[in-house]
Amino acid sequence: MSGSGGVWVYAERRGEALRPVGLEILGRARGLADALGERLVALTVGSGDRLARELAGYGADEVVVLDHPLLERYDTRAYTALLEREVRTAEPSVLLLGATRDGQDLAGRLAVRLRTGLTAHVTSLEVDAQRRLVGWVPGFGGGIEAGIVCPDRRPAIVTVRPGVFPSTPPGAPRAQVRHVRPTLDESDLGSRRVAFEPKGDGVDLTRSEALVVGGRGTGGDFERLRRLAERLGADVGATRVATDSGWVERERMIGQTGVVTRPKVAVVLGASGAVQFLVGIEKAGFVIAVNRDPDAPIFEAADLGVVGDLAPIVDLLVRDLGEA
Ligand SMILES: Cc1cc2nc3c(=O)[nH]c(=O)nc-3n(C[C@H](O)[C@H](O)[C@H](O)COP(=O)(O)OP(=O)(O)OC[C@H]3O[C@@H](n4cnc5c(N)ncnc54)[C@H](O)[C@@H]3O)c2cc1C
């Protein structure tokens, strides 16, 4: 594959809306495409024109829509086959996707089918002096940052963690919109929807302005944290220990395996401050930590630290804020 067909961004949708991660990537990809001297193409899958028109304002030169009513919800088999065909035809040099469940599924399959490299879960992207795309990934438990390039094969496929790039507001629509209308029937799909039961409440912590985050030290009492979050107008987040213990939904996990957040303020309660957790809050504006261990590493990452048992401290805050 020659790989001169531009920088492509897969703009994932959820129902009738574009997922923020695709728009975040588009914001960053404009600069990358310019540095590589290439066009920027946003690709989305679904049906209708509304989302395509919306996408046209996010900096791409072209918007491609794989347009069919059967593509309204993600289907591994159909999406992979159609994207593979588009990529083989257009020969992009780079294909960027959000590291969401569907994005990861798609990226891995495409990389195998196209016999190319996949850099997964990057937290930063740049073009180096040799005009190669470098994806940065925390490795060895967060101890190092590895810069990964895909030197020979095209496209270089990259998944980007949600929340690592700030979202840029849309401008005037400048992209040309091209609809590709594949011929499809039910037999092309790999799954059939029997019922739809959403898990969790669909919270997206990458958008939260304020967070109250609990770890093992909460002992599972997230009700107490919810009361504080309510007073602060904050969302509740958690460490992996707390989500693995089933105290809160998996989608609220912050960190290397969870989400990268950028709230204005985060109150972190009963979390030790493991590096895998810290990568998820290092972009917070102001971090307040409460831990009963004065040597807990969380205090090195915090702007304000309180040594003590979190329960009475939270209760005091809830009471005071309630009176305010
Ligand atoms: C590959 C990999 C990926 C990972 N990804 C993630 C990730 O995305 N997110 C994540 O969070 N973790 C992740 N982890 C796990 C991570 O290494 C830590 O194990 C985890 O973050 C610890 O969670 P914790 O701080 O809640 O628990 P602990 O480390 O056990 O800390 C509990 C803290 O609570 C304090 N405490 C206890 N009782 C109280 C009290 N009453 N009042 C105040 N303080 C109290 C203790 O002093 C202690 O500091 C990952 C690990 C690996 C290997």
* CA 275 to centroid of ligand 1, rounded, Å: 9
- For the four alpha carbons of 101, 106, 112 and 114, in that order, the dihedral sign comes to negative
Pairing of strands 17-18, 210-214: unpaired
pLDDT digits (tens, 9 = 90+) for 257-270: 899 999 999 999 99
Whether the CB of 238 sits within 6 Å of ligand 1: no
String of DSSP letters for 88-148: HHH--SEEEEE-SHHHHHHHHHHHHHTT--EEEEESEEEE-TTS-EEEEEEEGGGTEEEEE
Distance 302 CA to ligand 1 centre (A): 15
Query: What digits encode the pLDDT tens for the residues 170-220?
Result: 998 889 999 999 999 999 999 888 887 777 677 889 889 999 999 999 999
Ligand 1 centroid–CA 271 distance in Å is 5
Decide whether any atom of ligand 1 lies within 6 Å of the 256 Cβ: yes
- Which pLDDT does position 50 carry in this prediction? 87
Q: Which of 13-27, 140-154, 284-298 has the lowest mean pLDDT?
A: 140-154
Ligand 1 mutation pick, 137, 212, 228, 240, max ligand atoms within 8 A of CB: 240
Ligand 1 pocket test: which of 257, 259, 290, 314 has the largest number of ligand atoms within 8 Å of its C-beta?
A: 257
Give the pTM.
0.77
Whose tokens are 């309630």? That residue is 322
The residue to mutate among 245, 247, 272, having the most atoms of ligand 1 within 8 angstroms of its beta carbon, is: 272
CB 19 within 8 A of CB 13: yes
In the chain, which ranges are continuous DSSP H helix?
Answer: 20-36, 50-55, 76-90, 101-113, 222-232, 240-244, 275-278, 298-301, 310-323
pLDDT at 304: 97
Ligand 1 contacts CB of residue 301 (under 6 A)? no
Ligand 1 near 215 CB (within 6 A)? yes
